[in-house]
Amino acid sequence: MRQVFIFAFMTIVGFSSCTSQTASEGYTNLDVAAFKAKMAEPGIVLLDVRTPEETAEGMIEGAAQLDFEAANFEAEVDKLDKSKTYLIYCRSGNRSGQASKLMAEKGFKNLYNLEGGYLGWTK
């Protein structure tokens, strides 16, 4: 019984540390299934932060493209409506995580990053 308690405690601690990491960054990571479910909600903005070369190979339908590597990325983010909910993705989830963090620092509140990015989406 003690081993079960220890396992349960460690599992809860493990999950809470993963959640708090993204929560402290100001956004939430979602797996593909949760990301798809979130897409069905009204008023979301789907944002692809890959380069034009990457998006030419395919995009999630309905996504707006805003190149994270472009010199004007921050200026373009400043034009976005902070009250909206943003679902953000890139190739693997790294740049979209960075973009989500930057947007959170600029006052955006409802930010969701696709874990595994477009690669995870297309698997």
CATH number for 67: 3.40.250.10
Distance CA 36, CA 8 (A): 29
**Three-state secondary structure call for residue 123:** coil
Mean of pLDDT values over 85-104: 97
What lies within 8 Å, CB to CB, of 83 at 6+ separation is: 109
Q: What is the pLDDT confidence band of residue 25, given thresholds at 50, 70 and 90?
A: confident
Domain that holds residue 34: 2-121
pTM score, whole prediction: 0.81
What is the spatial distance between Cα 95 and Cα 7, in angstroms, rounded to a whole number?
34
Q: What is the pLDDT of residue 43?
A: 94
Q: Two tokens at 16?
A: 């809470």
CA atoms within 13 A on the CB side of 34: 11
Q: Both tokens of residue 20?
A: 């708090």
Sign of the alpha-carbon dihedral angle for 37, 42, 43, 48 = positive
What average pLDDT score do residues 88-111 get?
97
Overall domain count for the chain: 1
How much is the pLDDT for 23? 64
SS3 71: coil
